[in-house]
Structure 1
Amino acid sequence: MRLVSQEAWAAYQGRFIALWTDATRAYALYEPGELVAVELQNGAYPALSYLGANWFQRLAKDLNGHTATGFADTRTAVEHFREPDGRAAWPEFALPNIEGVHQVAVGPVHAGIIEPGHFRFSVVGERVLKLEARLGYTHKGTLGLMRGKSARQAARYAARVSGDATVAHSIAFARAAEAALAMQVPARAVYLRALMAEMERLANHCRDIGEIAEDAGFAFLNARFALMREYLCAAAQTA
């Protein structure tokens, strides 16, 4: 990890992956695994100009109260309906200043198994001028619940971040904990993790392909893929 000045942080060049904050620092991860950190000053750090940093900086503000100075996007990421002082809020969607524009609202509840999310289309006739997505409706504060837990207890929370990626999140948490503790992982565990991750991937692909067929009106194919997915899930449960 490289601890840099605020000027060097803002000017750092690399292929951005992720950003997060803790009580004292902001961290940015760049390929190929280079971690850069900067000290927070009064709960703030310089904003990064990478487009991919937008969502992470909004999350850091919502979850930890840390502000990216010079960051123009003041929209929330997950705390959409609550002001910083706890009062209820209903943020408005900005409407393009063009004659004849109207808004079409979709969600947050969708048909089928789509994750909840509110999508606001600004349109003129059939032309979409702007789309704004408001996500985070299933935010559960899992990371906050994991703090202070033992690695074994925290692993149960990691497995419940997303139901269709239980294996992936569990492996990611296990590898992070093992790296932090400098643990040697038995070869058998590595092989079993790869096997279970592949079964989870196949099960998810079966569902996705089936849903694509369903959207095209091919319900029979969706039913067949649903059956294949059940076979894979049953095999994983047995294993």
Structure 2
Amino acid sequence: MSPIQLQKYHDEYGIDKVNEAIRLLTYKNVSPLPKEESIGRPTLYVFRHGQTTDNADFLYSGWRDVELTEEGRRQAETLSEKLKDKKIDMLVSSDQKRAIETMNIAMAKNEHARNLEIHKDPRLRERSYGDLQGTSKLEAFLENPDTLHKQRRDYNFVPPNGESIAMVVKRVGEFLDELLPFVKENKLNVAIACSGNSIRGIRKRFENLTDEETAAVETPLGQDYAAYRVEPGQTRN
């Protein structure tokens, strides 16, 4: 966020209120992601992209195809250290630049995976926020925190010309319904790069989350991964 824009918010809402809003909107440490790895069972290594320019500026990003920041690239480097020794046979990413770049950095130190083709699937895109895309979450919070919470964390809320979390979970579920039988049949370990809302669909499936838990769950930007075993019979929801 530019100093001029920040000063505008300070002048309009007061420094203390703005600083508190930034604190609440800043991504925090979250509970550790599950690591369900076992020899002989196919495993999904799932992670969120690193910080983007829209994340840094507190903007609704959605289907905007924005770049990683330097911090986002550092987060992906941290992830690459954690994944460098994993046997990974297949790479799948959202078709958005932020996920693809995160995947490239995350796999750069993995001799099994660094030269693999990245399969791009639009069903792993971030949630479309429709008319909200490019607008300020910080300003929305300062105006009415309850409205912002509904826009972001109500499972069934559909922004104008956008998607609800439920709609994202549905398309991610269709992706998993196709991927899991293939992974199971071919005994593949797969790395998946996605976004904050598309990863909710994966976590809901593998962690048996309720709709409310799915809407509330937070996943760190870039620097960690979840590992899910593909169990016998676990091919469809």
Instruction: Tell me the TM-score normalized by structure 2.
Output: 0.26
Structure number with the higher helix fraction is 2
- Which has the bigger relative contact order, CA under 8 A and spacing at least 6? 2
Q: Based on CA coordinates, which of the two structures has the bigger radius of gyration? A: 1
Structure number with the higher strand fraction is 1
